[in-house]
Amino acid sequence: MRVALIQMAPSADRSANILQAQRLVSEAVKAEKPDLVVLPEIWSCLGGAVAIKQASAELLPTPGDTGGVLYEALRAMAREHNIWVHGGSIGELCGPDTGGKLANTSLVFSPRGEECGRYRKIHLFDVVTPNGDGYRESDNYVPGETIEVVDIDDVPTGLAICYDLRFAELFLALRAANVEMIILPAAFTQQTGEAHWDILVRARAIEAQAWVIACGTTGWHVDGQGNQRQTYGHSMIVSPWGEVVLQLGSEEGWGVADLDMDEVRQVRQRMPVQANRRLI
């Protein structure tokens, strides 16, 4: 399977972000003809005040029905280019029982434009980084409750988002579901990215004995309080043995790698970690 990572530098301007995504996807498809493209986390609106996040989010339709601007933009990418599209994540408007909060949601579309998977981020980023910057994702988002496995071109694929990367139990649950590939869109901060991104992505690939596709945002944006925030980029693809087969830098752009799914079976046969596991 040929996979393209679409590393974006989004802002709080949804229309500009859609154009950026469409341009980068078109460039990657024209140059390398991937089977699957993967966008980063919350690329549709990164930063901005709560009102902007709300205005940039949308209700998601029942699969098969017509959706909003973002939903249809992702569907159109899949149909136009005849590719699988993992839509990174977007803001999903939720019901009134959430107090007006959003969900941080991934969507997967087949080359026919059919929705094949939907996942809400389970672990919300409520932390203070070592430089004192505070983040409270739970102020604006509700957590997901369930894991999601989707069939992408006959490859069982687990879905995760950004901060989920730090919770090995989620990835072990995906491994127990026998996924062969895990896709993780992200918007890692510059500081946490420099310290932990590479280590964690490789560790999750080694633990799950699966391909891990980790696609991040990059560049600067302004949060709702007017603070300048920087995300790390360095999107990467790691093999089931923990080998980095593709890594981008800190610039907006895209990269492509070929994934051999036979490597998953070979690694698992030679080192049957799941069969040897004794603690559940």
Q: Which residues form the catalytic set?
A: 41, 121, 162
Question: For residue 180, which of 203, 213, 147 has the smallest C-alpha distance?
Answer: 213
In angstroms, the CA 216 to CA 40 distance is 5
Exposure of 37 in the CB half-sphere (CA atoms within 13 A):
33
- Residue type at 11? S
Q: Closest Cα to residue 262, out of 207, 181, 200?
A: 181
Q: How far apart are CA 174 and CA 119, in angstroms?
A: 13
Strand ranges for 8-62 from DSSP E:
36-38
Buried b (16+ CB within 10 A) or exposed e, 244-261: eebbbebebbbbbbebeb
Report yes or no: 6 and 25 within 8 Å, Cβ to Cβ.
yes
